[in-house]
């Protein structure tokens, strides 16, 4: 099954890191990514620019409305994701727990929906 692992963490935490801490953190991410690429479970993954760069889009009564920033104020922001192919939820949770940000943020594990093509 495919799972999207959504990485939520407090952006402010990243800004207070020293260069050495940031370097070690990025090394952890590189190691983690290489491991799931090697196991064949990695499908995709990216980091996102901070929420300050986000634009929210809504269409109401045919009008496209744009808002600066994310829809809601939250303590933790979506900062990146991995798309993995894991045997089951237990394995997906195991992978999620190895994402370096899991130590201070939250990883949301969402199964990817399989569409019924004949419906």
Partner 1 sequence: MLALLARTTGGDLLLAEDVLQQAIIAALEQWPDRGMPDAPVGWLVRTGRNKAIDHIRRRATWDRKAARLLAEEAAVAPPPELSDAAIPDERLRLICTCCHPALALDAQVGLTLRTVCGLTTDEIARVFLLDPRALAQRLVRAQRKIRDAGIPYEVPGPDALPARLQAVLHVVYLVFTEGYAATAGDALVRGDLCDEALRLGELLVAQVPDQGEVHGLLALMLLQDARRDTRTDAHGRPVLLADQDRSRWDRRRIALGMAALGAALRRGPPGPTTLQAAIAAEHARAPTAEATDWAGIVQLYALLLQAAPSPVVRLNHAAAVAEAQGAAAGLLLLDGLDEDPHLARGHLLPAARAELLRRLGRGEEAADAYRQALDRVGNGPERAWLTARLVEVEGE
Question: Which residue, 77 or 107, has its beta carbon nearer to partner 1?
Answer: 107
Among 19, 46, 61, 90, binds partner 1 (CB under 8 A): 90
119 binds partner 1 (CB under 8 A): yes
Contacts of 108 (CB under 8 A, 6+ apart): 5, 6, 8
Give the alpha-carbon dihedral of 51, 69, 110, 100, to 10 degrees: 10
36 binds partner 1 (CB under 8 A): no
Block residue for tokens 């991995």: 82
Among 93, 102, 106, 108, binds partner 1 (CB under 8 A): 93
Output the smallest distance, CB 114 to partner 1, in A: 6
């Amino acid at each position: 099954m495919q799972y999207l692992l959504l990485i939520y963490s407090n952006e402010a935490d990243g800004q207070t890191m020293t260069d050495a801490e940031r370097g070690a953190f990025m090394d952890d991410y590189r190691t983690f990514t290489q491991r799931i690429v090697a196991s064949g479970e990695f499908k995709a993954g990216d980091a996102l620019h901070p929420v300050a760069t986000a634009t929210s889009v809504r269409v109401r009564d045919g009008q496209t409305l744009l808002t600066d920033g994310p829809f809601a104020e939250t303590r933790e922001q979506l900062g990146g994701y991995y798309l993995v192919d894991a045997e089951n939820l237990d394995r997906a949770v195991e992978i999620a727990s190895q994402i370096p940000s899991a130590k201070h943020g939250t990883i949301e594990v969402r199964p990817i929906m399989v569409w019924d093509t004949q419906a």
